[in-house]
Structure 1
Amino acid sequence: MRIAIVGESLIDFTATGPLAFQGHEGGGPSNCAVAAARLGQATGYISQLSRDLFGERLYAYLGAKGVDLRFVLRSDAPSTLAFVERTPTSNHYAFYMQGTADTLWAPAQLPELPQSCRFLQFGSIALLQEPAASRIVDLVRAERGRRIVVFDPNARPTLVRDAQDYRARCQGWLALADLVKLSDEDAAYILPGLSADQAAAAVLALGPRAVVLTRGGQGATLYRAGQAPLAVQAPVVPVVDTIAAGDTFGAALMVALLEQGVESAGQLAPASAERSPEADASGAPPTLSDDAWRAVLRFAAMAAALNCTRAGASPPTRAELDMALARPE
């Protein structure tokens, strides 16, 4: 296991007409786990799934996609359900998650991740419900310094009861992370009134080494303290559905960083403007160069774009992504 992802798994019912819906396996963290596994990295999922018909479907789906389920607990509580209505620019959601299996994840003993695991991602709506929210934060705190902690807010304002309280709690979650991936919509909601550059600077001030801000069809920008922003454009593709595009981007980001040799938080950004990207005399691993970061961001942007070319959460296989990346720009 190289990547571990903790959080919800649910069934997305997407609108096909008036009161007509088609079900798809989904949930931000679950989508991310599937995407990382399909891109060739050993990926584990941490959550609790129901034994109802939806939970059985989710468990079978994740296993069939190659996700390691050793840390998945089972429960007689119902599955979380989400209903999704597409619009030309975004998706509107209605969630049914009170007392559901994933929101009740609260193991007495936290999972013991293998030493081979280098990335641990958390975030999304799992942080909105107790007792799962507190235990997820407990897990992140226990693993901090041992893994590269990634935070993806995946904010859903319609589920937030108290925006001011949510934003305050976000400050704490951001401070736990080494790498933050957030959309422009996340940034606008969590840090209202700030420009993209200002929002990224505010996040970096809390402690993360790097922030990647995604902007849908406009691409993504990397921010690091003391470094100029680094942007990549999104590939131009025929868009069928944007569901799970951000989840796929986040998964591909971790996969690409691993393939660049990133295994510790210190490699994400230079400790100071004077530090060389080469390993120093202490034997510290080299930090990632701008060219390497561009390759990482392009990899992630292409993966997200391919997901958008088909309905539902449908991240690309590694072969599909390699083929797309090999085409002339």
Structure 2
Amino acid sequence: MSTLPAYVVFGEALTDFIRQSDGRWAAQPGGACWNVACVGVRLGVAAGYAGSVSNDLFGDALYMLAAEAGLDMRFTQRFDAPPLLAMVPSTQPPEYFFIGEGSADLRFDPDRLPVGWRSAAQILHFGCISLAREPLASKLVEVALAAHLAGKRIAFDPNWRNLMTHAAYRDTFHVMAGITDYLKVSDEDLQHLFPGINQREAIAHLRALAPFAQIMVTRGAAGMSLFCDGIEYTQPAFPVTVADTVGCGDAAMGGWMASLLRQPDAAPATHLRFAAATAALVATRTGAYAPCWEEVSSLLAQQITESPHAQ
């Protein structure tokens, strides 16, 4: 592989330990940013996951699955350090905590990325707990700021977690929002990021913080919206049989970026519908499934849904 990818995803990869109904724990490779990268490359976009994983069985699984998905492995680093783990005692309602003191993800070194990667990249993605864990967070903000100044497009998915309650994250969030071209939030993200106000007010605050961004708001079964050039486009959720919703937000983000990169002249409503279809497909599978372009295109062709419309 010689050509460098157009889509580079920065952030954490981790192993989820999910408590099962019988009391046992099931280990599942994941992490929001790692999921986004896998979705992007499975949808036919040349992509790299720019993060680091441990040199043990947990890191082996993440590294192997990333390679199998087709990611550019020159971007993924490995270190002799503990793995980052997410303990999930309950999914309904969601409960979780992270184990990652001195873990491998924190050692990521941007200077070890392939020569010329930034010139080749078109969209850089950032988000989730990688922007709330030092020293990684500061490194990634520096990468994002430099890329923004170089004219690269920045994608940002806050993907709120309980690590983001400290004051330092608020500053990071404001910096990232201010340089972002594509910003995705869920309705739950908005509740945590802008507590005490309703969703419309929260979106108005977000649009003020991210004046140059297209903003996608996902609402689960209630569908999603895209705010672009002063217009709000809406998309109902696709009617599918839901196995679980793990990874749906990551799929929406990856689907949105893949649509932008593969069909750049398409209308905003087309990108929104593609993102919704990608998320719907993931909901039909257990775990953070990454569909291919043909699967999403088939769903789009089969489903008869109300077309997105401007409000």
1:64 match: secondary structure: helix
Aligned amino acid, residue 73 of structure 1: Q
Per-residue Cα deviation, 1:20-69 (whole angstroms, up to 9, x for no partner):
12111100000001011111111111011111111111111100110112
Preserved CA contact (<8 Å) 2:225 2:234: yes
Which has the larger displacement, 39-48 or 170-179?
170-179
Which has the larger displacement, 253-262 or 2-11?
253-262
1:114 CA displacement: 4.7
Match of 2:122 in 1: 118
State the distance in 2 between where 1:109 and 1:74 align: 11
Preserved CA contact (<8 Å) 1:79 1:97: yes
Per-residue Cα deviation, 1:93-137 (whole angstroms, up to 9, x for no partner):
221121110122244566642533211000110111111110001
Match of 2:143 in 1: 139
Seen in structure 2, the aligned counterparts of structure 1 residues 224 and 324 have a Cα distance that, compared at 3 Å, is closer
Preserved CA contact (<8 Å) 1:200 1:223: no
Match of 2:231 in 1: 228
Seen in structure 2, the aligned counterparts of structure 1 residues 81 and 212 have a Cα distance that, compared at 3 Å, is same
Aligned amino acid, residue 307 of structure 1: V
| Aligned structure 1 segments of 4 or more residues deviating by more than 3 angstroms | 85-88, 106-112
Match of 1:63 in 2: 67
1:240-279 equivalent positions in 2, closer than 5 A: 240-261=243-264
State the distance in 2 between where 1:104 and 1:19 align: 33
2:58 match: secondary structure: helix
- Supply the RMSD in Å over aligned alpha carbons: 1.9
**1:318 is the counterpart of 2:293:** yes
TM-score (norm 1): 0.85
**1:215 is the counterpart of 2:219:** yes
Preserved CA contact (<8 Å) 2:6 2:47: yes
1:306 CA displacement: 0.8
Match of 1:269 in 2: none
1:235 match: secondary structure: coil
Match of 2:279 in 1: 304
1:64-79 equivalent positions in 2, closer than 5 A: 64-79=68-83
Seen in structure 2, the aligned counterparts of structure 1 residues 143 and 165 have a Cα distance that, compared at 3 Å, is closer
Per-residue Cα deviation, 1:126-168 (whole angstroms, up to 9, x for no partner):
11111111000111011114321011001102x2452x44334
Seen in structure 2, the aligned counterparts of structure 1 residues 70 and 108 have a Cα distance that, compared at 3 Å, is closer
**1:192 is the counterpart of 2:195:** yes
Aligned amino acid, residue 294 of structure 1: A
Aligned amino acid, residue 199 of structure 1: A
Seen in structure 2, the aligned counterparts of structure 1 residues 47 and 302 have a Cα distance that, compared at 3 Å, is same
1:47 match: secondary structure: strand
1:185 match: secondary structure: helix
State the distance in 1 between where 2:155 and 2:303 align: 31
**1:50 is the counterpart of 2:54:** yes
Match of 2:94 in 1: 91
Preserved CA contact (<8 Å) 2:228 2:268: no
Per-residue Cα deviation, 1:225-282 (whole angstroms, up to 9, x for no partner):
5x232111111211111111100100000011123326xxxxxxxxxxxxxxxxxxxx
Aligned amino acid, residue 157 of structure 2: D
Which has the larger displacement, 101-110 or 171-180?
101-110
Unaligned runs of 5+ in 2: 305-311
Seen in structure 2, the aligned counterparts of structure 1 residues 328 and 240 have a Cα distance that, compared at 3 Å, is closer
Aligned amino acid, residue 196 of structure 1: Q
Aligned amino acid, residue 257 of structure 1: L
State the distance in 1 between where 2:99 and 2:299 align: 37
1:129 match: secondary structure: coil
Percent identical among aligned pairs is 36
State the distance in 2 between where 1:124 and 1:214 align: 16
Preserved CA contact (<8 Å) 2:39 2:254: yes
1:182 match: secondary structure: strand
Seen in structure 2, the aligned counterparts of structure 1 residues 328 and 107 have a Cα distance that, compared at 3 Å, is closer
Preserved CA contact (<8 Å) 1:180 1:208: no
For residue 294 of structure 1, the aligned residue among 269, 283, 287 is: 269
Give the structure with the larger helix fraction. 2
Match of 2:26 in 1: 22
State the distance in 2 between where 1:106 and 1:130 align: 13
Aligned amino acid, residue 152 of structure 1: D
- Equivalenced residue count is 297
State the distance in 1 between where 2:219 and 2:257 align: 18
